[in-house]
């Protein structure tokens, strides 16, 4: 009878290990939110499912925000205006060598420096506000995001997860917990 009780250690340890692997899979790939007594269970939908949806929506939002800021030149508080301001400030610092020129009046030095900064700042403005949006339109980036959203679906990643992570984890945890269960069984038999 004691031997039969000791066999339960093996069964219990294997069941515990396999349930941990199942919970890990459920934590990553649970497709929809689950509720108990009208309250949502934490970590549902699964981490990977939620972060994948968040990532694709964030990429779409960033793309639309960039195109919106590039189209509206009067937007004074967007990140595109801040980038252009940083470019202008960087260029102003790098053209400091003009101030060291001798035999030129300060007004002419400032004019030369301003013209250099304006030329390169306008180049950066045209690049960021016209060329990049045109490339986004020509390369059909928004459609490619939708294609990647469809191509890299949860099922795609779940297939690779099952093949390369889930099955080896089940085998490894089953073997590890079998060994631990046998050790617990022997310890129980020695003590009892």
* pLDDT of res. 161: 92
Stated pTM of the model? 0.67
Question: Which helix (H) or strand (E) element contains residue 136?
Answer: helix 132-138
Distances (CA, A) of 131 to 23, 119, 143: 49, 16, 19
What are the structure tokens assigned to 152, written together? 């890299």
Domain boundaries, the chain: 2-191
If 0-12 CB within 10 Å is exposed, 13-18 middle and 19+ buried, where does residue 59 land? Answer: middle
Residue ranges of the chain with pLDDT lower than 70? 74-76
pLDDT of residue 75: 65
Cα distance between residue 97 and residue 113, in whole Å = 9
Please report, in angstroms and rounded to a whole number, the separation of the first and last CA atoms in the chain: 11
pLDDT of residue 139: 87
| pLDDT of the residue at 58 | 93
| pLDDT of amino acid 19 | 93
Specify the pLDDT at position 114.
Answer: 92
State how far the alpha carbon of 105 is from the alpha carbons of 45, 96, 112, 162, in Å.
Answer: 69, 15, 11, 74
Rounded Cα distance, 179 and 184, in Å: 9
């Amino acid at each position: 009878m004691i031997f039969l009780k000791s066999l339960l250690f093996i069964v219990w340890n294997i069941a515990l290990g396999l349930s941990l692997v199942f919970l890990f899979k459920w934590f990553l790939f649970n497709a929809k939110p689950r509720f108990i007594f009208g309250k949502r269970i934490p970590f549902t939908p699964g981490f990977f499912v939620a972060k994948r949806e968040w990532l694709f929506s964030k990429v779409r939002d960033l793309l639309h925000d960039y195109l919106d800021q590039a189209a509206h030149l009067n937007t004074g508080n967007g990140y595109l205006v801040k980038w252009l301001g940083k470019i202008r400030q960087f260029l102003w610092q790098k053209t400091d060598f003009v101030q060291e020129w001798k035999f030129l009046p300060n007004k002419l030095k400032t004019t030369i420096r301003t013209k250099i900064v304006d030329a390169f700042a306008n180049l950066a403005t045209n690049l960021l506000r016209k060329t990049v949006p045109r490339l986004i339109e020509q390369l059909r980036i928004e459609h490619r995001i939708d294609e990647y959203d469809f191509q890299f679906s949860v099922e795609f990643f779940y297939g690779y997860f099952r093949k390369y992570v889930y099955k080896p984890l089940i085998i490894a945890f089953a073997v590890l917990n079998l060994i631990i269960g046998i050790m617990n069984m022997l310890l129980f038999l020695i003590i009892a």
